[in-house]
Amino acid sequence: MTAPAFTSTRPASLTVAMLLADGRLPSGGHAHSAGLEPALLAGMPAADVPAYLVGRARTTSLVEAGTAVVARYRLREAPSSAALDDVVAHWAARTPSAAQREASRLLGRGVLRLAGRLWPDAQAVQACSALAAPPRPVVIGAIAAVTDMDPEDLVRVFVYEDAQTAAAALLKLAPADPAVPVGWVLAACAAVEELVDEIAALTDPAGIPAGSAPHSEGWAEAHALTNRRLFRA
């Protein structure tokens, strides 16, 4: 029996999206709670988690998604580290918490290690490697550029993965019926679906959403100083 001939060396966009959204991806994401542990330790009741997920989807997730979309665009146009400098600067300006920036850079290191293993010769990955501690959305934007991932799928990955990370962390922080948070994740994704096309069309870092979450930023800073925690952030 003859094995089928493969005509493409690139996985489908949706396949890459599923890979990036998989909590089992060996990139260090299991050590993070998408800010949920800091929120709960600061006194936010578990009953507020559904609203918390929607709030994250409309702020943090869209900042990161927009950053990744613009990084993808830049690296497809000119795959160099210089093309990413102002993308990183705009991301940092929209991420005022030093603790949140550090967490993103730490996650970016894990994703970049994986990207370097999977696409070692890709110019977009090499461009990220030339940066000093690139944040996670920039690295994922590079993966999207290498794999020709659809920008709409890229936006949805960030919204889903952030909500799902928090939902998974909740089961360790405030154990409950594991089926319940699934509905909350879907609701968070639905809350920003109407914005997906707009974010996916971004090409200029100045257009990256600038939604802020002051409580989350303050909670993240306090969490970074405590040794009473299960998650890194």
pLDDT digits (tens, 9 = 90+) for 132-146: 999 999 999 999 999
Q: What is the mean pLDDT of the chain?
A: 93
Total of domains in the chain: 1
Confidence band of 7 (pLDDT split at 50, 70, 90):
very low
- Name the phi and psi angles at 122, rounded to 5: -70, 130
The rounded percent of the chain whose pLDDT value lies above 70 is 96
Confidence band of 1 (pLDDT split at 50, 70, 90):
low
Say how far apart CA 6 and CA 83 lie, in whole Å.
34
| Alpha carbon 120 to its chain's center | 21
Query: Which is higher by pLDDT, 137 or 228?
Result: 137
**4: pLDDT strictly greater than 70:** no
Confidence band of 54 (pLDDT split at 50, 70, 90):
very high
pLDDT digits (tens, 9 = 90+) for 8-44: 568 899 999 999 999 888 877 778 999 999 999 999 9
Say how far apart CA 94 and CA 109 lie, in whole Å.
20
pLDDT for res 43: 95
Range of the domain at 210: 33-219
Residue 173 within a domain: yes
Q: Are 46 and 59 in contact (CB under 8 A)?
A: no
Say how far apart CA 22 and CA 203 lie, in whole Å.
27
Q: What is the pTM of this model?
A: 0.94
Alpha helices in 78-204 (DSSP H): 85-93, 98-118, 123-129, 136-147, 151-173, 180-191, 196-200
The rounded percent of the chain whose pLDDT value lies above 90 is 82
Residue 21 within a domain: no
In our burial notation (b when 16+ CB lie closer than 10 A, e otherwise), range 91-101 reads beebbebebbb
pLDDT digits (tens, 9 = 90+) for 133-190: 999 999 999 999 999 999 999 999 999 999 999 999 999 999 999 999 999 999 999 9
Best CA proximity match to 124, nearest among 108, 144, 154: 144
Say how far apart CA 57 and CA 141 lie, in whole Å.
18
Residue 209 within a domain: yes
Residue 25 within a domain: no
Residue 87 within a domain: yes
**5: pLDDT strictly greater than 80:** no
Residue 37 within a domain: yes
pLDDT for res 2: 55
